[in-house]
Structure 1
Amino acid sequence: MERDALEFPVDDDDDVDPRRLRSRTRLLDAATTLLSAGGIEAVTIDAVTKASKVARTTLYRHFSSSTQLLAATFERLLPQVHPPPGTGPLRDQLIELLSRQATLFQEAPLHVTTLAWVALGPTPNSTQETYDRHALRTRIVDQYRQPFDRLLQSPKARADLDEFDPQLILCQLVGPLAFARLTGLRAIDRQDCERIVDDFLAAHRRHADEPAT
């Protein structure tokens, strides 16, 4: 763990807003370093307060539990999924978007850790912890859905594809990437993304004699 970067004077009074913001930043900086170095188990209340030099009482003014702290840390680390270019055939745009998602899984392992923690982590101990985890799950789902929704709800896609369930489509397209990364079965490359997209289009391409909706 990089302790030198986390040597701050103790801050046990955050009544003034700038001090409150600084103490929250220190806590999240410490939690981020601990998470990156030691995984989820390393992010404990004791470890974060020790590394950040922020008092425990101050931590609890910001975060009601370690679950809330961890959720905030994960959200801070979530990388953005950039949409594909807005022009070109639907197939090319889907392949580009899926390839970017596959690269994200490979190059941002904490992204996959976040998915695993949200889906399979310990049972929350309180209503607040349940809310925190649900909020993070919603944030992750929205992050995945937005670029796909924009593309698949476009007039071009609606004209080319049959009726589909947006949630199921997201599982069909992104699911293989997440499964491959979580299990370590294989690294999904662009050629794999082309196959996934082609299979998807073969199943959902509207027939020539079928009217658009």
Structure 2
Amino acid sequence: MSGIDDAEVDPRKVRSRARLLDAAAVLLQDGGLEAVTIERVTKSSKVAKTTLYRHFDNVMQLRAATIERMLPPVLETPPEGPLRERLISLLQRQADAIRDTPLQVSTLAWLATGSDRTTGNPAVTSLSQRIIDQYRVPFDQVLNTPEAHRQLGEFDTFFVLSQLVGPLVFSKLIGLRPSTPQDCARIVDDFLAARAMAPSVP
């Protein structure tokens, strides 16, 4: 993406970039990803097209930056403590993030990174890494501990994430009520009970 370093030190470029992304975010929420075009964003933001191209090389970079800006902050890893409490705390934070993020934004983020992983586009790479940080890294830090391996035995992190976060995402997708702290505790307890009963894999 062009112009990022300059934008960080030039207040005028900071303002123009913010106006472009504000306009793009409104268009995305109202009309979806295809509504975010160079023409519509420049018209809505009243920022010249030449200025837009100082920040973004193409519409894909603009769309990726817009989605990334609308994602919630990266989750913090819970402090040291028993595995159960750390997983419940992390799942509650994840439930809050899922609840507060518009479904359209979450869906578009996954679709955008999934369809363009191999393009080499720096903006898409940045968005993909942001999503990994948001959803995966905190769990890795909790699960990659001696206590977790003692309690859970051998495990595949992909399936652990599916079992823990899957119910939260499913609830959001089909429009059920937001997941509560009690729901998160039940999910973790069911997961830990199932792991305790699982036969060891040779």
TM-score by length of 2: 0.77
Say whether residues 1:74 and 2:67 are aligned partners.
yes
1:105-144 to structure 2, matched below 5 A, reads: 105-109=98-102, 112-120=103-111, 127=119, 132-144=123-135
1:37-186 to structure 2, matched below 5 A, reads: 39-80=32-73, 81-87=75-81, 89-109=82-102, 112-120=103-111, 127=119, 132-186=123-177
Say whether residues 1:198 and 2:189 are aligned partners.
yes
Alignment RMSD, CA only? 3.0
- Which has the bigger relative contact order, CA under 8 A and spacing at least 6? 2
Q: Return closer, same or farther for 1:120/1:78 CA change in 2, 3 Å cut-off.
A: closer
Looking at structure 1, the residues matched to 46 and 111 of structure 2 have their Cα atoms a distance apart, in angstroms, of 31
Query: Unaligned regions of 5+ residues in structure 2, if any?
Result: 1-5
- Report the alpha carbon displacement of residue 43 of structure 1 after superposing the two structures with TM: 2.5
The answer to whether the Cα contact below 8 Å between 1:160 and 1:206 also exists between their aligned partners in 2 is: no
| Aligned length, in residue pairs | 189
Alpha-carbon displacement from aligned partner over 1:145-188 (angstroms, at most 9, x marks no partner): 12111111122212221111112211221122112112213422
Moved over 6 A (4+): none
The answer to whether the Cα contact below 8 Å between 1:162 and 1:206 also exists between their aligned partners in 2 is: no
Looking at structure 2, the residues matched to 206 and 154 of structure 1 have their Cα atoms a distance apart, in angstroms, of 21
The answer to whether the Cα contact below 8 Å between 1:32 and 1:73 also exists between their aligned partners in 2 is: yes
Looking at structure 1, the residues matched to 31 and 79 of structure 2 have their Cα atoms a distance apart, in angstroms, of 37
TM-score by length of 1: 0.74
Alpha-carbon displacement from aligned partner over 1:84-115 (angstroms, at most 9, x marks no partner): 2322x211221111011112211222xx4333
Percent identity among equivalent residues? Answer: 52
Letter in 1 for 2:190: D
Looking at structure 1, the residues matched to 170 and 53 of structure 2 have their Cα atoms a distance apart, in angstroms, of 36
Letter in 1 for 2:173: L
Alpha-carbon displacement from aligned partner over 1:24-76 (angstroms, at most 9, x marks no partner): 23212322343355554543222210122211132233223322211101112
Alpha-carbon displacement from aligned partner over 1:105-149 (angstroms, at most 9, x marks no partner): 11222xx4333113446966x9466x6445423320222112111
Query: Unaligned regions of 5+ residues in structure 1, if any?
Result: 1-13
Looking at structure 2, the residues matched to 108 and 115 of structure 1 have their Cα atoms a distance apart, in angstroms, of 7
| Max Rg structure | 1
1:4-23 to structure 2, matched below 5 A, reads: 18=10, 19-23=12-16
Looking at structure 1, the residues matched to 99 and 93 of structure 2 have their Cα atoms a distance apart, in angstroms, of 10
